[in-house]
């Protein structure tokens, strides 16, 4: 399957961050932009991350730069290799064929080189860009622990940092409040030598967790809380997924992030709004270390908040642990892996993630916009197939029971190059149960007693008889066909308002169709109260669908449209290589329904 978006926008996106990048390149501040996508490996990537990925990689590709993937792994108690792997897979999938040529990775196992620049000591770890080699891997902030430690020592030597013995509770009390200045720590003015000694001993594991910290020395009275001598290092006797048990002290986000950016030569460090108040600290750290190369700068944008779902990692993990969904990649999840499994092409997700724009205004993005992006993409590429989700038997009484013919069906009217296929037709069919109503409301132009309808690619039929079982349920329709009305036939031009899909009962294959719907029933599930009270009880319905036989060859790389129903994709629960085609177990996920004007009319009536 081509990963190219069939609707690549003619105009490149523009926003306040790109504006800055443009100016920085024009002024010669940087030669090319180097961005990074820095997730913490403590959960799966979701649709909100997709926006960030598209922003960072988008800037890289538009300005001839690069974008590094970096694990922001400075907290050993929360991070796992499973998440590193899923993140890497998801990023690759999302940018494949679009920005993989500016994907910055590093040689496996490589850490920064010490070098001298303009007479100053420096650490630098350049990326390998656009490599598909297996000898490259993502960057890890934890690969910089040696360098970050050295810089911490440097800050102490410059009198810009000190070891503090305050307990966590005392530290909090000393910090003050947003509208109340803090108080200096009693350890703030201890000697450089003593801090150096204590910091070394912290590193050597002489103290238990929480006993001491390394703090910057800035201003306890600052109106910005993040400038009130924020912590640089804490003690954590805990193994790390990437560095093992080498360390028992770990740098805080604020200290590690700006320096990681610097080491990789990042120019524009883009993050979400909640880090806005951290920016002065980001700058303070870099400016107080006398670094020889150009410094990175931080820019903030509003994260994506989609309606009818949640993106909080804590809540997502709860859905997984409580088995509300089958896993992180359940097609109802807003995770990138879930979206992928649902059958959404990467190009559709990108189109959405780019289309929502980049601002500093926190907004709720209507999921209908994503739905539209998916349909727009899939409409262009999906192979049309006939399938019936809820079968109703239909017998054509003026054809013999052994009647057999093959009809031509178009694979994709949006793409004539995909040609046609043959579909079998006989006197016994299945049609969609919804396509028949015994006493329909006005404007229902499908089948009704005595009414006529076109069978797609086949004949116009008339409903003569409705057969019911003992309970009164309709179990069969007996119809006569206008035998001259076959597509291309003598009376094929007759105007019939309705056209319905069907499959030949004798030739149809059974498929497990998983019909997914949105996971929540309200636009903002976690606005108030327990978000799980807003779960949609009908978010998954499983039916055995009757499909045209060509689907035995269904491929996970292709997308299908079941005509008049929706878009489907092969799920990984299917057999890929069965002993014989007829033994193949097929599971299809409904990616999204087609737009349904009738449902809207029906609702109004």
Partner RNA sequence: UGCCUCGUAGUGUAAUGGUAGCACAACUGACUCUGGAUCAGUUUGUCUAGGUUCGAGUCCUAGCGAGGCAGCCA
Q: Interacting stretch for RNA, rule CB under 7 A, among 51-59, 132-140, 461-469, 492-500?
A: 492-500
Q: Does 600 bind RNA (CB under 7 A)?
A: yes
Q: Does 576 bind RNA (CB under 7 A)?
A: no
Q: Does 166 bind RNA (CB under 7 A)?
A: yes
Q: Does 584 bind RNA (CB under 7 A)?
A: no
Q: Rounded to whole angstroms, how far apart are CA atoms 42 and 317? A: 10
Q: Rounded to whole angstroms, how far apart are CA atoms 503 and 593? A: 19
Q: How far is CA 127 from the centre of its chain?
A: 25
Q: In the range 417-476, which residues lie near RNA by CB under 7 A?
A: 443-446, 454, 456-458
Q: 264, 250 in Cβ contact below 8 A?
A: no
Q: In the range 307-346, which residues lie near RNA by CB under 7 A?
A: none
CB of 495 to RNA, least distance (A): 7
Q: Does 14 bind RNA (CB under 7 A)?
A: yes
Burial of 107 (0-12, 13-18, 19+ CB in 10 A): middle
**DSSP calls for 368-401:** HHHHHHHHHHHHHHPEEE-EESSEEEEEETTS-T
3-state DSSP assignment of residue 178: coil
Kindly tell me which residue out of 97, 159, 186, 223 binds RNA, with binding defined by CB under 7 A: 223
Q: Does 275 bind RNA (CB under 7 A)?
A: yes
Phi–psi pair at 573, nearest 5 degrees: -75, -5
Q: Rounded to whole angstroms, how far apart are CA atoms 581 and 71? A: 43
Q: In the range 16-55, which residues lie near RNA by CB under 7 A?
A: 16, 19, 38, 40
Q: Interacting stretch for RNA, rule CB under 7 A, among 48-56, 145-153, 177-185, 389-397?
A: 177-185
Q: Does 252 bind RNA (CB under 7 A)?
A: yes
Q: 540, 332 in Cβ contact below 8 A?
A: yes
Rg of the chain on CA atoms, in Å: 31
Q: How many CA atoms lie within 13 A of 604 on its CB side?
A: 7
Q: Interacting stretch for RNA, rule CB under 7 A, among 168-176, 198-206, 319-327, 415-423?
A: 168-176
Q: Does 168 bind RNA (CB under 7 A)?
A: yes
CB of 487 to RNA, least distance (A): 2
CB of 261 to RNA, least distance (A): 12
DSSP β-ladder status, 66-71 and 139-140: parallel
Q: Which of 341, 415, 421 is nearest to 380 (CA)?
A: 415
Please, which residues have CB within 8 angstroms of residue 442's CB and are 6 or more apart in sequence? Answer: 605
Q: Does 405 bind RNA (CB under 7 A)?
A: no
CB of 97 to RNA, least distance (A): 23
Q: Does 253 bind RNA (CB under 7 A)?
A: yes
Q: How many CA atoms lie within 13 A of 128 on its CB side?
A: 14
Q: Does 195 bind RNA (CB under 7 A)?
A: no
Binding mask 57-96 for RNA (x = CB under 7 A): ---------------x-xx--x------------------
Q: Does 143 bind RNA (CB under 7 A)?
A: no
Q: Does 500 bind RNA (CB under 7 A)?
A: yes
């Amino acid at each position: 399957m081509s990963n190219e978006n069939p609707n690549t926008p003619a105009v490149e996106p523009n926003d306040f961050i790109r504006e800055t990048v443009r100016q920085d390149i024009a002024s010669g501040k940087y030669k090319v932009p180097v961005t990074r996508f820095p997730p913490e490996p403590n959960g799966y990537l979701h649709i909100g991350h997709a926006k960030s990925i598209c922003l960072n990689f988008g800037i890289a590709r538009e300005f001839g730069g690069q974008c590094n993937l970096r694990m922001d792994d400075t907290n050993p108690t929360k991070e796992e290799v499973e998440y590193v792997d899923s993140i890497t897979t998801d990023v690759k999938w999302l940018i494949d064929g679009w920005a993989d040529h500016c994907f910055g990775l590093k040689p496996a196992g490589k850490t920064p080189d010490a070098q001298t620049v303009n007479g100053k000591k420096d650490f630098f770890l350049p990326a390998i860009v656009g490599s598909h080699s297996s000898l490259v891997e993502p960057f890890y902030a934890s690969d910089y622990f040696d360098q970050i430690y050295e810089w911490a020592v440097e800050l102490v030597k410059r009198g810009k940092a000190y070891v503090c013995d305050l307990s966590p509770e005392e530290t909090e009390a000393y910090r003050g409040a947003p509208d109340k200045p803090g108080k200096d720590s009693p350890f703030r003015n201890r000697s450089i030598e003593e801090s150096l000694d204590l910091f070394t001993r912290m590193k050597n594991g002489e103290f238990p967790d929480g006993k001491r910290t390394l703090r910057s020395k800035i201003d306890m009275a600052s109106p910005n809380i993040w400038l009130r001598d924020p912590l640089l290092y804490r003690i954590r006797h805990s193994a790390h997924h990437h560095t093992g048990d080498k360390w028992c002290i770990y740098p805080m986000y604020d200290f590690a992030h700006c320096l990681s950016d610097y080491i990789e030569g990042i120019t524009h460090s883009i993050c979400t709004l909640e880090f806005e108040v951290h920016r002065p600290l980001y700058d303070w750290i870099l400016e107080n270390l006398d670094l020889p190369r150009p410094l990175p700068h931080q820019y903030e944008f509003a994260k994506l908040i989609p309606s009818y779902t949640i993106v909080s990692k804590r809540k997502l993990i709860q859905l997984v642990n409580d088995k509300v969904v089958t896993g992180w990649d359940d097609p109802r999840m807003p995770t990138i892996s879930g979206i992928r499994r649902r059958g959404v092409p990467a190009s559709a997700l990108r189109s959405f993630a780019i289309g929502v724009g980049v601002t500093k205004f926190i907004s709720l993005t209507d999921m209908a916009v994503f739905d539209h992006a998916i349909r727009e993409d899939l409409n262009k590429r999906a192979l049309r197939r006939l399938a019936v989700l809820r079968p109703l038997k239909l017998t054509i009484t003026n054809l013999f029971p052994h009647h057999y013919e093959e009809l031509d069906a178009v694979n994709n009217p949006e793409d004539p190059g995909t040609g046609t296929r043959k579909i079998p037709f006989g006197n016994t069919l299945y049609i969609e149960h919804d396509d028949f109503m015994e006493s329909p409301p006005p404007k229902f132009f499908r089948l009704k007693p005595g009414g006529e309808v076109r069978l797609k690619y086949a004949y116009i039929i008339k409903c003569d008889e409705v057969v019911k079982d003992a309970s009164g349920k309709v179990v069969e329709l007996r119809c006569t066909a206008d035998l001259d009305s076959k597509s291309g036939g003598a009376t094929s031009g007759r105007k019939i308002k309705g056209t319905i899909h069907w499959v030949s009962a004798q030739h149809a294959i059974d498929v497990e169709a998983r019909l997914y719907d949105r996971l929540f029933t309200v636009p903002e599930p976690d606005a108030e109260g327990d978000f799980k009270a807003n779960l949609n009880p009908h978010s998954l319905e499983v039916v055995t669908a009757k499909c045209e036989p060509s689907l035995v060859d269904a491929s996970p790389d292709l997308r299908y449209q079941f005509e008049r129903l929706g878009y489907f994709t092969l799920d990984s629960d299917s057999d890929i290589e069965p002993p014989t085609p007829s033994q193949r177990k097929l599971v299809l996920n409904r990616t999204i329904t087609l737009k349904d004007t009738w449902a809207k009319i029906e609702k109004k009536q």
